[in-house]
Amino acid sequence: MNFYLLRGRLFRGFWLFDCHLLLSLTQRRSPTFYLTGNKNVTNNTQSSSLSHVFTQMNVTLFDPSCKKSEGLPQSQRLGVDSVAQMDAAFLNKFPSQCTLSKSMKKMRFEIVAICGFVLGAWAIPLHADSDAIVSKPFGKTTAGEPITLYTLTNDKGMSVSLMDYGATVVNLLVSDRTGKLDDIALGFESAEPYFTKSPYFGATIGRYGNRIAKGTFQLNGEAYHIPTNNNGNSLHGGDIGFDKHMWKAETIGTTPPAIRFTRTSPDGEEGYPGSLDVAVTFTLTDKNQLRISYKATTDKPTVLNLTNHTYFNLAGAGNGTVLGQVMTIHAKAITPVDSLLIPTGKIQEVEGTPWDFRKGKAIGTDIQATGGNPIGYDHNFVLDKGATYAAQVYEPASGRLMTVTTDQPGLQFYSGNFLDGTLTGKGGKVYPQYSAFCLESQHFPDSPNHANFPSTVLKPGDVYKSTTTYSFENK
């Protein structure tokens, strides 16, 4: 539990205890009755037994809330002849004759008011449901459509902000080992730079994550052509991928907070066949997990590879490079690429190569040996089946530890090679090369052109479902 929340809970606990004490001091207590009288021992002839009979009795009331001036204790002479009659109902006929003093009354009123307030506050959970998801306007698309930013906050204070443009992660606030929150996702302060400048910061990628060679593939004997927006190849869905569309947002829960983005990608959009209904649900659990679940159906056979493109820097976005952050990837192979980052079709073992992250090492350790232009990691890792997690990244200074689990067969590890310091993001921070990493859970790039890769074909009647979770803790 977060230190601040624990302190809050203890504070409330002490308040309640104090209220209880104070109230009990000013409480009008039940009058105490003292019995005095003449007791005769008589022979009860009817029952042939001895009984104690009070022939006369004095009842003395002592009421602790009485003022001295009210002249108590009071005495009353009662005409009772049996102890049995001194039951509660009988005694209730003798209520206290005196009143609470004025100052005591005022004090009681104040205590009741304060305690009522504190109790009211106690009744509201530390993290009110109404705060779990808040929304605010976040600009307009070039077509004038309003964009909304939704912030999901969990019980621990972790939060994720998402906009309906591109179903995009805009902010991700995660605490370090001292409890201090930092935004660890690269991005912009307003929606506008996302339209043209963003290298897919935080976006939902579709229909096809990563590259399709020459923007061409065959499906059921038919050739399809999609936009070649990256060196003669198609990247992340083409010119206007899922990241450049408005999605319909819907809150689907507050404990834990969850939001679902949906859209229909029409038949032929960016050259892909079939009308595709897509839903992406982001859930922020109380265990500090950002869970992303995808669901899609089509009315014609199509190819599909959905992912999220958040750029993480566990030291905080814009706080230097990620080269010192320690990466573990449970993958004993990668799909090697050519100079334009198109898979060769081979599955290559990582043993003895810069791509061996199985035992964990700083991202910068072997990065120069990866080659490429620009140099760096930009590869699909073939995830080991049955591993406890896909990848883990640790940032020693903050203590932040991120664990990625997924049901996807691949993970694109991209070390921000194309970032070059020309983008200025949130808080005026500049993003230099290697200032973030992406871990994009996915099917292998260019799968439609490689029969040996797991299939990415979605048929009518089938439901595409996939979940990836980014979990955060401190070490």
Tokens of 98: 């005196």
414 binds ligand BGC (CB under 6 A): yes
Q: Which of 412, 435, 441, 456 binds ligand BGC (CB under 6 A)?
A: 412
Q: Which of 78, 440, 441, 444 binds ligand BGC (CB under 6 A)?
A: 440
Least distance (Å) from ligand BGC to the CB of residue 416?
9
Binding window for ligand BGC (CB under 6 A); candidates: 98-106, 249-257, 411-419, 450-458: 411-419
310 binds ligand BGC (CB under 6 A): no
Among residues 200 and 312, whose Cβ is nearest to ligand BGC?
200
Least distance (Å) from ligand BGC to the CB of residue 332?
21
Residue 80 and residue 59: Cα distance in Å, rounded?
Answer: 10
By annotation, the residues acting in catalysis are: 309, 440
Residues with Cβ within 8 Å of 308's Cβ and at least 6 positions away in sequence, in order, are: 169, 202, 203, 204, 205, 292, 440, 441, 468
Q: Show the site string, 129-168: x = touches ligand BGC by CB under 6 A, - = not.
A: ----------------------------------------
Least distance (Å) from ligand BGC to the CB of residue 199?
5
Under a CB-based contact definition with an 8 Å cutoff, are residues 247 and 265 in contact? no
Binding window for ligand BGC (CB under 6 A); candidates: 53-61, 285-293, 295-303, 410-418: 410-418
378 binds ligand BGC (CB under 6 A): yes
Among residues 172 and 341, whose Cβ is nearest to ligand BGC?
341
The footprint of ligand BGC on residues 420-439 (CB under 6 A) is none
200 binds ligand BGC (CB under 6 A): yes
Binding window for ligand BGC (CB under 6 A); candidates: 9-17, 25-33, 116-124, 412-420: 412-420
The footprint of ligand BGC on residues 35-94 (CB under 6 A) is none
Report the interface residues with ligand BGC, using CB under 6 A.
Answer: 199-200, 210, 341, 378, 412, 414, 418, 440
